Amino acid sequence: MIQVQDIRVDPEARRAWRGDEEIRLSRKEFDLLHKLISNAGTIVTRDELMQDVWATRFWTSSKTIDVHLGWVRRKIGDDSRHPHLITTVRGKGLRFEIGQVAVL
């Protein structure tokens, strides 16, 4: 079991929770969340996501990641305009935050 902030992920059962509420995720959504939360506090590049989540070394559009990320953020209750769980580090990748991010 992996827990960061109030998100828990059980990789073996492929299940996720926010607090006591289970989050229903598709296979790719779960893989994306698992990749990010298992590397919490560090930046995961888009290349790493394409390789580890989509099992490919090339991609034609960044929209694939963006669309799935949007679905994951909605399901875990992370506001895309003021994210506090998954943040985008411009030009670098994505990071699952270990603690709350200050909203300015």
Question: In this predicted model, what pLDDT tens digit does every residue of 28-66 receive, in sequence order?
Answer: 999 999 999 999 999 999 999 999 999 887 766 668 899
At residue 99 the predicted structure's pLDDT band, cuts being 50, 70 and 90, is confident
Would you give the DSSP letter of residue 44? B
CATH code for position 60: 1.10.10.10
- Closest to 7 in 3D by CA, of 78, 66, 71, 70: 78
Domain extent at residue 91 = 2-96
Please give the share of the chain, as a percent, with pLDDT higher than 90: 80
Output the pLDDT for position 56.
83
Predicted TM-score (pTM) of the model is 0.91
**Does 102 reside within a domain?**
no
Element (H, E) at 52: helix 46-52
Strand partners, 7: 4, 18
Q: Report CA-CA distances (Å) from 61 to 2, 47, 50, 77, 90.
A: 30, 12, 11, 25, 16
Q: Over 70: is that where the pLDDT of 102 sits?
A: no
Geometric angle at alpha carbon 91, from 2 and 45, rounded to 5°: 35
Query: Is residue 104 domain-resident?
Result: no
Q: Which pLDDT does position 104 carry in this prediction?
A: 41
Residue 101 lies in a domain: no
For residue 70, give the nearest of 40, 101, 26 by alpha carbon: 26
